[in-house]
Chains A and B, each alone.
Chain A
Amino acid sequence: MILRSVLVLVLLVGILSHASESLRFELQSSQTKCIAEDIKSNSMTVGKYHVVKPNEDHPLPDSHKLTVRVTSSYGNNFHSAEKVESGQFAFTAAEQGDYMACFWVPEHSPQITVTVDFDWRTGVHAKDWTNVAKKGQVDAMQLELKNLFDTVQSIHEEMFYLREREEEMQELNKATTSKMFWLSFLSLFLCLSVAGLQFWHLKSFFEKKKLI
């Protein structure tokens, strides 16, 4: 059987990866879907995934079990699981970059569709607020306000980050413009020199041939 080319649908969670309550997506047999997330350095990230059971009573057959791999953009493996129904992972991102979580389902003759429920939280929302509440016996309102405060701080940080990126882009554009400027002078110089060389060469050639 021809190995069906794996439809790698790269789900890039490229942008600020703040909250994520269950995201659901469907996987066909022998299909890979990857979710990548741009995580900032030193931020906590927690991920939980499970297969949505089509039939609550019956246990999940092997063909419906997932294989998961979580890797960083540098190739380090943070989590991997074979043929599981559910699982979770948590780590602190050492450096900023794209972290990918890939899911795939083994090959099966009649094409089956597996619904995966994935919950990936980063930054502010990775904090388990229910635990904080239990431990500190904090007032519900205080907790909510604390959460809002953290959110505001993260918004502030994100603004700085966006500003930095904009500056980088401006630098890039400036560099491109100045390069084009110098290249246009080069083109003028090149044109004139090529014409001059042609002229000089042909003149000496004809003089040699005693035509001039």
Chain B
Amino acid sequence: MMEKRRGKMWALALMCFLLLNWVADVSSLSVTVTDVECVYEYVLYEGDTISGNFVVVDHDIFWTSDHPGIDFIVTSPGGNTVHSLKGTSGDKFEFKAPRSGMYKFCFHNAYSTPETVAFYIHIGHIPSDHDLAKDEHLNPINVKIAKLREALESVTAEQKYLKARDTRHRHTNESTRKRVIGYTVGEYLLLVAASVLQVFYIRRLFSKSVAYNRV
């Protein structure tokens, strides 16, 4: 009888444990933002750390100083702007959720040219001492494991950020290579064309139909 109850308690503890630790974790997405693009995420507990990063993986558009970048705004369930980053081509963010509920993560693109933004959002929860006191199934070791998990998540987030930036660099490099080689070959062709035209023109100046004495 005691065994059965203990078994049930373990199952319950496991469920609580899983619930406390596997908190919302959006996989990295890239959105082609023409105007506004929003993603919604539910935060279970107040005080959870919302962390993440985003990178603008622009395809063919060359980032000039004219294009200020995109804006990133996080809105709390109450409608207040919790976090905002303006005119950037990629950044990391981290803040504590002031309350639980549905948070809105929006990207704004001021220009009409669509930009592809790759982002990753992670909502992490670490059981605090208060939770420890409330729930007798929670061990201090569970807190440590949660902290370890969060640390690993931050490493994963950083990797995703690096991968996104690497993708962007790759695009830039490939586009630069194509353009440079294209322009160089074009330049040579123009050079040859210009010299041929020069020769024709000079020949024409000295042709019999035109009185070459006048040249």
Interface size on A, residues (CB 8 A): 66
Inter-subunit contact B42/A18 (CB<8 Å): no
Inter-subunit contact A202/B159 (CB<8 Å): no
Residue A172 CB within 8 A of the other chain: yes
A window 109-161: CB within 8 A of B: 115, 120-122, 125, 129-130, 133, 140-141, 143-145, 148, 151-152, 154-155, 158-159
The DSSP consensus for interface residues of chain A is: helix
**Nearest CB of chain A from residue B192's CB, rounded to whole Å:** 6
**Nearest CB of chain A from residue B160's CB, rounded to whole Å:** 4
- Residue of B139, B164, B181, B206 near A14 (CB, 8 A) is B164
Residues from chain A with Cβ under 8 Å of B118 in the complex: 12, 14-15
Inter-subunit contact B21/A183 (CB<8 Å): no
Residues of chain A having any CB pair with chain B under 8 Å: 7-26, 35, 37, 115, 120-122, 125, 129-130, 133, 140-141, 143-145, 148, 151-152, 154-155, 158-159, 162, 165-166, 169, 172-173, 176, 179-180, 183, 186-187, 190-191, 194-195, 197-198, 201-202, 205-206, 209, 211
* 23 A-B pairs (CB sep. < 8 Å): A7-B34, A11-B31, A11-B32, A12-B31, A14-B164, A19-B25, A23-B27, A37-B27, A115-B40, A129-B18, A133-B14, A144-B17, A144-B21, A154-B156, A155-B152, A155-B155, A159-B159, A162-B162, A190-B192, A194-B192, A198-B195, A198-B198, A201-B199
* Known contacts A14-B28, A141-B142, then 5 further A-B pairs from the complex at CB < 8 Å, ordered by chain A residue: A11-B31, A23-B27, A23-B40, A151-B152, A176-B180
